[in-house]
């Protein structure tokens, strides 16, 4: 259960609008809607590593050009984290008393983002890192 809660805490940092942000010659766009986020993670605690794979639903909504992720946690709580586009990449950071998390992703087209995530506890006692992918839920 700790790993599931930790995963959901990690996934808090994701997105919404990019209403056509220009990146060189191509346009970046993420539509509103329901998405899957999948992650292949490695948890490192006291020098011991453990592989994890997780999948969760998120909701993406346009909010004044910011990228906003809404995630419903197993506890029933709702988390909202705001990211942005910098130099054509998705970047989101979450610094809290529990986790300091950074997501850096690349827009792959078809409303898909792939990238790396890294989360570390404020005291440095554990680290989670890995790759994530966000893609639309097919209806």
The answer to whether 41 and 51 have CB atoms below 8 angstroms apart is yes
Q: Is the pTM above the cut of 0.75?
A: no
Q: CA-CA distance, 123 to 113, in Å (whole number)?
A: 30
pLDDT at 40: 94
pLDDT at 16: 35
Full DSSP string of 23-89? ETTEEE---SEEEEEEEEEEEEETTEEEEEEEEEEEEEEEETTEEEEEEE-TTS-EEEEEEEEETTE
Model confidence at 115: pLDDT above 90: yes
Domains in the chain, start-ordered, CATH in brackets? Answer: 2-136 (2.40.128.120)
Q: CA-CA distance, 21 to 8, in Å (whole number)?
A: 28
Residue range 53-107, pLDDT digits in tens: 988 888 887 666 677 777 655 555 566 667 777 777 888 877 777 778 888 999 8
Q: What are phi and psi of 111, to 5 degrees?
A: 55, 40
Model confidence at 43: pLDDT above 60: yes
Q: CA-CA distance, 118 to 127, in Å (whole number)?
A: 7
116: confidence class by pLDDT, cuts 50, 70, 90: very high
Q: Show the tokens assigned to 130.
A: 């890995």
Q: Which burial class, exposed, middle or buried, applies to 94 when counting CB atoms under 10 A from its CB (0-12, 13-18, 19+)? A: buried
């Amino acid at each position: 259960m700790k790993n599931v809660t930790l995963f959901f805490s990690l996934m808090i940092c994701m997105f919404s609008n990019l209403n056509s942000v220009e990146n060189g010659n191509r346009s970046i766009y993420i539509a509103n809607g329901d998405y899957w986020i999948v992650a292949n993670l490695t948890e490192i605690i006291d020098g011991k590593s453990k592989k994890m794979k997780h999948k969760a639903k998120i909701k993406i909504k346009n909010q004044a050009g910011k990228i906003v992720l809404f995630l419903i946690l197993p506890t029933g709580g709702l988390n909202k984290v705001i990211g942005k586009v910098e130099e054509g990449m998705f970047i989101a950071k979450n610094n809290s008393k529990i986790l300091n998390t950074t997501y850096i992703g690349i827009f792959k087209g078809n409303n898909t983002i792939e990238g790396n995530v890294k989360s570390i506890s404020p005291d440095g006692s554990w680290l989670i890192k890995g790759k994530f992918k966000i893609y639309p839920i097919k209806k």
